[in-house]
Amino acid sequence: MENLLNKIERVPKDKKLIVFDLDGTLVETKSSLDDETAELFGQLLAQKKVAVIGGASFERFRKDLVDRLNVSPELLGNLFLFPTTASSFYRYDNKWIQVYSEEFSKEQKEKIMDAFEKAFKEIDYVRPEKTYGEIIEDRGSQITFSALGQDVVAELGEEGIKLKKKWRDENQGLKLKLAGILQRYLPEFEVRAAGYTSIDITRKGIDKEYAIRQIQKHLGVSIEDMLFVGDALFERGNDNAVLRTGIMCFEIKEVEDTKELIRYLVK
């Protein structure tokens, strides 16, 4: 595809807004921004507007991204956060302000939880012997299943990341099957296999294409002036939906690739 790039030298430096995926792109899964990325990210904020989209909650965006930055409040004004797969949006004006949030109703949450129970029974799902934190987390505008629990990386650090990668390698087919069954039970919602061990559920139509449209609407930046950076732009990857907008995309494989791109952009 013409708008999908994987060579840095082909990336235009004149884009006004850079849009990043979070997990697997800016940080390792459920980890914090490392020192080098934080420094580079701050340099980028001094030159361009930056948006970050991810399935994580706003609280995790604060802890693992914002709190790792050493930048002025003025530069935070160039940072725009789209947690829970852009079902919510936050911008900075002396404090973080919620612009919108597509919250589930109590009845919708109950229907989703019931669908999980039915889907688990249908595939005879057996939970891992040990899990860490909630398996199904209510993030207000998104409900997320995480096979090893939401806190595996917080509790185990690097070992937790290894466990998540191991589970993904052994159970990717199972996760995709579970997501497909959930979508059948929940046709009026959006169900996505995300990250290493997760399945995210949001209102229908809320995906990363929706995120780009919201960025365009709220920030007044044309899609032609944006660059999207992500690690899952492949077919059925949870970044793939952005390609439908025509946005120019740069595909990375790991966080080190993102660092290299930012160095190139700020040079």
pLDDT number for residue 223? 97
Write out the chain in H/E/C secondary structure.
CCCEECCHHHCCCCCCEEEEECECCCECCCCCCCHHHHHHHHHHHCCCEEEEECCCCHHHHHHHCHHHCCCCHHHHCCEEEEHHHHCEEEEECCCEEEEEECCCCHHHHHHHHHHHHHHHHHCCCCCCCCCCCCCEEECCCCEEEECCCCCHHHHHCHHHHHHHHHHHHHHHHHHHHHHHHHHHHCCCEEEEEECCCEEEEEECCCCHHHHHHHHHHHHCCCHHHEEEEECCCCCCCCCHHHHHHCCEEEECCCHHHHHHHHHHHHC
Class assignment of domain 106-203? alpha beta
pLDDT number for residue 1? 63
Domain ranges of the chain: 4-102+206-266, 106-203
Task: Evaluate whether the domain defined by 4-102+206-266 bears CATH number 3.40.50.2000.
Answer: no
pLDDT tens digit sequence for 57-82: 999 999 999 999 999 999 999 999 99
Cβ atoms of 65 and 204 within 8 Å: the answer is: no
pLDDT number for residue 173? 92
User: What are residue 236's phi and psi, to 5 degrees?
Assistant: 75, 0
Q: Which amino acid is at 7?
A: K
Cβ atoms of 85 and 54 within 8 Å: the answer is: yes
Q: Whole-angstrom Cα distance, residue 102 to residue 84?
A: 10
pLDDT beneath 70, residues of the chain = 1
Q: Whole-angstrom Cα distance, residue 226 to residue 43?
A: 18
